[in-house]
């Protein structure tokens, strides 16, 4: 009812800045970063990445309100780097990690496709079976279940 429009979750408002950094006045080497139009997905990843870096003393994030699409990231470093710098490093590392993951996944998946098309067409036929509707009991039937069971292993890298 009161939920904001969906697009507000990812579209920046007029004049809104995506990232704001506020240095903490009382705690040394600490800053609070407000990142708008993002949610737990990014917040949690960033926090985890930051925590894995030795210079970081504290890293935490919170989403103050579930209907407000922003989160607050709190970073405290040991003084060798500024929070902004370490955040930048973390972002870069994260991007690296993600892209390598992406590549790996794609590669493995293409292997899998080659492999499975070479060996058997079982998976294909059952899927075809679903589409034609000859098995009205869908997942309930033994064949379908077996298909799911056998089809599962491409996720298990």
Partner 1 sequence: MANTLIGSVLERKTTAPPTAPSTSSLSSSGFRNGFPLAQHRSQGPSFGSSKGKGKSAFQRAREENRRNGNAGDSERLEEPPKVGTGSKTQSSVTSNGEADRDAELPHKSSWRSQISLENEARVSSMTEEERERERQEIIDRFGKDVGEILRRTREKREREEREVAKKREGGSEDKDVGMEAVELTDEVVDNSARKGFTPTSPLRSATSTTSSTRTNSPTPSSRRLRFAELAPQNVHVYESAPSSPKRKALALPPPDKGDASVVKLGDLGIKPKMLYTENGEDQEDAGVDSSKPSPKLENKPKQESVDKEPEGDEPEEGTPEYIQRKYFPSQPRPKDVPELAWMAEGSASASGSTSTSTGSFTTGISAPPPPPLSHPFQNVSPTSIPGTFDKDSQGPLSRLRFTLHGTPISPSLSLKLPTHLGLHHHAEGTHAGYTLDDVFLLSRSTVKMQRSAMLGVLTGIVRVIRGKRSESKRSAASASSSSEEAGLSVSKPQPQSQSKSSSHLVDLESYDYEQDEEIRSALEALRSPTASQVAKRILFTGLEACVEKGVVGVRGVEVVAEVLTRFNGLRRGMEGDDEAHDDELDESFDEFALDLGGIETSGSSEMQDILIEALPLHQVLPQLVGVLIDPPDRAVDADVSITSSIYVKTSTPTQNRILYIFHTLASHSNQVAEELCKTTGLVSGVLKVFVTPSPPSSTSSSSSVNSDISLHILALRFFTDLALASRANAKALVDTGVADVLLRFIFSSSSAFTTPTTSSTSTASSLSPSPPSPPSSSSSSPSISPSLSSPTLSEILRFYTALGRYGMYTHIAADAKEVWWSIGQWIEHIIKGMDANQQLPPLNSTFSSPSPSPSPSPSPSSQPLSRSISFWDFLKSFSSLIEIWLVAATDPHRTTPEHALVWSQVEGLGWGMWVCGVLKNLLERFSSAYHFDSQDIPNPSNDNNNINAHVLNAFGALYRALAAWVEGAEINAVKGGEEVRLVAVEVVKTSLSSTGLVDVVGKEIKEQLDSFHRLRGTRTSLKLVRCSWVLGSVMRVLVSVDPGSAILSSEQAKQLRAVSQGVVRLLAPSSSLIASGYAFAITSRPLTLFLVWYLRLLKGTSPVNAWLPYALAVLPVLQNGDEDGAVEVLKYVLRAVDDVDGPGALGRNGVDIDMIRSFYEYEIRGKGVVPRVQTSKNRETAEDEEDDADADVVEEMRLTGPLSPTSKSILMSTTQRLPPPSPPLSTSDLASKAEEPTVNTRRRAVKEWGPTGLPLGRTWVIRPVDHLLRSGNPNSLFKNTHVVTRPQGWNPGEVEIVRAVLRLAVIGREVLHKASIGATTFMTMEEAVFSCMKIFMLEHEQDMEAPREGMGEEVFRDGLVEKWMGELLMPYTIAERVNAQTTSPLPSHPTSTLTLEEVSLPFLGPSNTPFYQFYTDLVGLYDAVSFSHPLFGRILLPPTSMRYAVDYRRLLWCDYPHVVRSLRIPVEQMVLGDGEGVKEWLWPLEKDPRVLGAYVGVLMRYGGVLEGFVRWIALHHIAGNIWEDLSEDKFTESQKEKSGRLLKTVVQQGTRDVVREILMYRQSATLGVLFPPACFTTAGEWREARKGLINKLGVGGQNLLGLLDI
Contact set with partner 1 (CB under 8 A): 22, 24-27, 30, 32, 34, 51, 57-58, 60-62, 64, 72, 74, 76, 133, 136-142, 145
Per-residue burial over 78-87, b if 16 or more Cβ lie within 10 Å, else e, is eeebbbeebb
Q: What is the DSSP letter of 80?
A: S
Min. distance of Cβ 74 from partner 1 in angstroms?
Answer: 6
User: Is the Cβ of residue 68 or residue 107 nearer to partner 1 in the bound state?
Assistant: 68
Return the bridge partners of 32, or none: 22, 74
Provide DSSP, 28-51.
Answer: TTEEEEEEET--HHHHHHHHHHHH
Min. distance of Cβ 131 from partner 1 in angstroms?
Answer: 14
User: Is the Cβ of residue 84 or residue 112 nearer to partner 1 in the bound state?
Assistant: 84
User: Is the Cβ of residue 72 or residue 116 nearer to partner 1 in the bound state?
Assistant: 72
- The CA distances from residue 77 to 27, 30, 56, 59, 74, in Å, are 10, 7, 4, 9, 10
Min. distance of Cβ 76 from partner 1 in angstroms?
Answer: 5
Min. distance of Cβ 109 from partner 1 in angstroms?
Answer: 26
User: Is the Cβ of residue 118 or residue 149 nearer to partner 1 in the bound state?
Assistant: 149
CA terminus-to-terminus distance, the chain: 42
């Amino acid at each position: 009812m009161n939920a904001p429009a969906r697009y507000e979750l990812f579209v920046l408002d007029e004049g809104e800045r995506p990232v704001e950094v506020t240095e903490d006045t009382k705690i040394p080497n600490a800053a609070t970063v407000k990142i708008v139009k993002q949610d737990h997905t990014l917040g949690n990843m960033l926090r985890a990445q930051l925590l894995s870096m030795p210079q970081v003393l504290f890293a935490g994030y919170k989403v103050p309100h579930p209907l407000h699409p922003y989160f607050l990231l709190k970073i405290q470093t040991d003084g060798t780097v500024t929070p902004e710098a370490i955040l930048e490093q973390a972002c870069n590392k994260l991007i690296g990690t993600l892209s390598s993951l992406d590549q790996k996944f794609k590669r493995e998946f293409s292997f899998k496709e080659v492999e499975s098309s070479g060996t058997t067409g079982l998976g294909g036929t059952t899927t075809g079976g679903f589409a034609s509707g000859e098995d009205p009991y869908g997942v309930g039937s033994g064949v379908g279940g077996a298909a799911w069971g056998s089809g599962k292993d491409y996720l298990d890298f």
